[in-house]
Structure 1
Amino acid sequence: MKRLLTLFALLISFFAFSQYTPGEIKKLKITRVMKSSQTRGQETVQRNETWYDESGNDTAEYNNGELYRRTKYEYNPKGQVLSRTRYDATGAETETAIYSYKPDGACTVSNTDKSFGMTELTYCDKGGKTTKTVSPDNSERIYTYDTKGRLIKIKSKDSDNGSVFVDIRYTYNPKDQLIKEVSKGDYKWTTSYTYNPGGLVSKVKRNSVTDGVADPEVITTYEYEFQK
């Protein structure tokens, strides 16, 4: 059961992970990101689009044209997020995150999933970078950055026996663009990134392995809309 909880928390973290931070979305003035994903050998194309507000935070997500979820944010007078609440297509609350800040700007985020009743903690430094997450079973994942501030590793250990549960490494090109993500932990995958002339992600290829057998490659293409 603990391992299931850890896996669920891991999925929350990585489904929430974006190639761009809210600050970068705001700076780039992106209002919508459209993704089209296709599994090799299948004709079906999965289409996803995410809408962003002027602060760079995601507010709505659609899957194949159907509303999947909406997100509401509350801010303090400094413009810092105080809470983030997600709702499903019916308007039911599914997830709530509460943000607390230290004087230097470092924060702790307590994220609770309403369906499972589980809470994950995320710790961020004063620059907004995630430094550690703690899952409901107290498993910790440590985020490591290089001297340029680029994420280069996420690593954690199973709370029961100390074996590595997550071990993800990130590689960048000379332009500081993420080009490869490799998971060497219990769940193995390799993701490669391609960029358009404007420096935005244009294509992502993901190869994974399940029970020692290679899964079909998944290719995702990206399109963007910007503030006018």
Structure 2
Amino acid sequence: MNEEMTLEALAERMSGDSSAPYYIAGVLREAIYRGILPEGKPLHQAQLALRLGVSPIPLREALRLLETEGLVTFQGYRGAVVTALSVEEARELYEMVSALETNLLKIAFPRITRRIVDDAAKILDLMDGEQDCIRWRDLNQMFHNLLFESADRPLTLDMLARLRQKTDRNIRIHLASMREESQRQHRAVLAAVVAGNLPGALEALADHLAYTSNDLQSCMRLEQGKKRR
């Protein structure tokens, strides 16, 4: 399937109001995550509007939304361009993610109920069998957020979601190399929560995020090496 067909198929599969900027942004965001719209690629707005069957005005608003997420930038005569994520930026983003997540878990820990634990375990079971990288990413985010929601820190959760949008854009690059170990680490975090072991849960979560960060950086370096050949 060629890129154009893939983008069109993606738009057809996603439900929503095609005149709404948030819907269009969702289609383009997933296209970036899946590599359909590669880093550094100019986004010709007239062509995109035609391919997606949308009007130019909501398309431009959608691109502006993606600009606030760091996925798109406007570069003068080139117009909108898919931004690139450097290895150094990925490392720094995960440092911030780790700081926020461990703090959220510390606050939420006393209020994590058995129902939350059971729901988190069900999500991990679903992740075991999920082969699509974007759906796996969504389930992964659900698992993490379940442990944090009872912290009642909506602003922190919003910031965390924005940071993850930037790192998760490369989930397709390194999921295969890290998913098995990542799942083992998820279950280690959950086991510590069930045991009421806060220090153990915080250590397991920090180790998990450090592992994920290092794996992403390694895979990004390999990808960059292939492009230079």
Q: TM-score under structure 1 normalisation?
A: 0.21
Higher alpha-carbon Rg: 2
Structure holding more helix per residue: 2
Structure holding more strand per residue: 1
Q: TM-score under structure 2 normalisation?
A: 0.21
Ranked by relative contact order (alpha carbons within 8 Å, sequence separation 6 or more), the top structure is: 2
